[in-house]
Amino acid sequence: MNDLRHDLLHCLAAAELAYDPDPPAGIVRIEQGDSIALLLSHGQRPTLAFRGSEPTLGDWIDDLDFRWSPAAGNPGRVHRGFQRALDRVWRPLLGVLAGLGPRPLRITGHSLGGALATLATARLRRQGHPIDLLCTFGAPRGGDATFARTLRDQRTIRVATPGDAVCEAPPHGFGFRHAGELYLATEKELIRSPNPPRRAFEILRAHFAALAGSGPDALQSHRLACYRTRIEKTVPD
């Protein structure tokens, strides 16, 4: 299997497990309030996955709190609601990670979970923990340009579908920026670092397809099932 496909499917499976209230034996589940993280520690590359938003009051409050907070020891500012969601699980998470020793981590998540994965990667790097890969699916913007630059040398796969509106929030005009390299998952191909005209074209095409009923709408485009379908279809073995 090609390395990109292997990494994507591995992280996708971990992101899916983060939504499972009863994960398989051997997986450590950390739950504090509405924040949930999972640690899959088998093998040489343990994987940390954060659960995305669920229809709970706590998640809605976190998602919609666009105010700025300092980036917990890193330069720049981050989304206050996302920071608060990560803070809930941070202390018990560090306790679990202490048992891993120096093994590099893969960190992943979908939706809100992708934003938490990004913030957690910056924090852990600051503390000296090696991060092998940050891989997110349908993640919103989590911080400002200064914060995003702290991750510019981090190996990152930031997957978005053109019709996924969550990836366009919070608004660019408010100062929020994405961190990491974009992989745009269209129905026909996975486009690495599309230039702005190509990205805009694919977003418009996805919106027109949704209006015509020939493509997924914004909600369907955000679902992990849509990401899995497109990755399995477009990334070669």
Give Cβ neighbours of residue 139 (< 8 Å, ≥ 6 apart).
Answer: 109, 110, 111, 113, 114, 115, 117, 118, 158, 160, 166, 167, 178
For residue 82, give the nearest of 63, 107, 105 by alpha carbon.
63
Q: Which of 34, 53, 164, 221 is catalytic?
A: 164
Q: Is 164 a catalytic residue?
A: yes
Could you give the maximum distance between any two Cα atoms of the chain, in Å? Answer: 52
CB 136 within 8 A of CB 158: yes
pLDDT in tens, 196-205: 999 999 999 9
Model confidence, pTM: 0.94
CB 119 within 8 A of CB 142: yes
DSSP 223: S
pLDDT in tens, 86-133: 999 999 999 999 888 888 999 999 999 999 999 999 999 999 999 999
* Per-residue confidence (pLDDT) for residue 167, from 0 to 100: 95
Q: Is 7 a catalytic residue?
A: no
Asked if residue 44 has pLDDT above 70, the reply is no
Asked if residue 57 has pLDDT above 70, the reply is no
* Token duo for residue 113: 């979970």
Asked if residue 30 has pLDDT above 90, the reply is yes
Burial of 103 (0-12, 13-18, 19+ CB in 10 A): middle
Q: Which of 111, 153, 217, 237 is catalytic?
A: 111
Q: In the CATH scheme, what is the code of domain 3-234?
A: 3.40.50.1820
**Alpha-carbon gap, residue 231 to 218, rounded angstroms:** 18
Asked if residue 12 has pLDDT above 60, the reply is yes
CA 37 to chain centre: 12
